[in-house]
Amino acid sequence: MHVPSASPSFKSMLATYRQRLLRDNAPEDSTRRLVVGVLDRWEKHPDVEKLWGKIAKRLPLVTDLVPGILVGMVLWSRTKAETLEELIHELPDREKTTRARLKSLFRNAGQDGQLLCEAALVHDARNIRDRIWSRKTEHAQRQYFMVFWHDAFEELTGYPLDHVVADLTWIAFGGRHIDVDDVRAAVRVAARRIKDRSVQPSNQATERS
């Protein structure tokens, strides 16, 4: 995919994104600090333009809006990883509370968008716990992020782009270096957990018979 030469650089787009964030005067909380940290690492990445080029050439269509959409999705998936890990640790209690509130909601034929969003988040957390998380896993957020983007790129482009996912994971989290082997290991763990879950019901059925 050819990226028009007249398009602004990806780095300048990141700077614009940051300026808009600061103009919004959002409260200085942990989420905002997290987002600014991601943007900092992305702007300072030595291959920031090459990284975007690797993604752009695989996309079926690139317009001036696509870079901003990519940044927004990376920030969303990073903050969601944070939220889901917190939720997974308190999942049993949250599931019980949310189910009770939903029963009351539907019984009274009311509508509560926030509650429905919470129910969806609890559902996502349960699925991700079963697919990726383990109590023994120290880097669960990174695992979620790597599997999410491996799957997303494969669906969008037909290629997993694991080298790109490795760079995006470091941009999103910082810390130690992430390479393509880390991404593929996270994907293998997720696939194995799915396989184990699919085998368990059949084994239980065999034992009952």
∠ CA 171-172-175, nearest 5°, is 70
Q: What is the residue-wise DSSP string for 180-202?
A: HHHHHHHHHHHHHHHHHHHHHHH
Residue 38's alpha-carbon distances to 3, 81, 130, in angstroms, are: 24, 13, 27
Token pair in block for residue 209: 């018979």
Q: Indicate the pLDDT class of residue 52, thresholds 50, 70 and 90.
A: very high
Q: Note the pLDDT of residue 138.
A: 46
Identity of residue 46: P
Residue 3 lies in a domain: no
The domain tally of the chain equals 1
Residue 28 lies in a domain: yes
Q: Indicate the pLDDT class of residue 82, thresholds 50, 70 and 90.
A: confident
Percent of the chain topping pLDDT 90? 29
Q: Indicate the pLDDT class of residue 30, thresholds 50, 70 and 90.
A: confident
Treating both helix axes as pointing N-terminal to C-terminal, what angle do 140-157 and 180-208 enclose, rounded to 10 degrees?
A: 100
Mean pLDDT of the chain: 75
Minimal CA–CA distance to 149: which of 61, 56, 43, 55? 55
Specify burial of residue 91 (Cβ count, 10 A radius: 0-12, 13-18, 19+). middle
Residue 2 lies in a domain: no
Residue 158 lies in a domain: yes
Residue 113 lies in a domain: yes
Q: Is the pLDDT of residue 169 over 90?
A: yes
Residue 179's alpha-carbon distances to 133, 153, 165, 170, 187, in angstroms, are: 20, 17, 9, 9, 13
Place of tokens 């103009």: 23
98-135 pLDDT tens trace? 445 444 544 444 444 454 455 555 555 555 555 554 54
Identity of residue 197: R
- The whole domain housing 168 covers 10-208
Token pair in block for residue 84: 């889901």
Residue 103 lies in a domain: yes
Residue 4 lies in a domain: no
Q: Is the pLDDT of residue 172 over 90?
A: yes
86 versus 106: the higher-pLDDT residue is: 86
What is the distance between the alpha carbons of residues 82 and 192, in angstroms, rounded to a whole number?
23
What is the distance between the alpha carbons of residues 173 and 37, in angstroms, rounded to a whole number?
8
The DSSP letter of residue 2 is: P
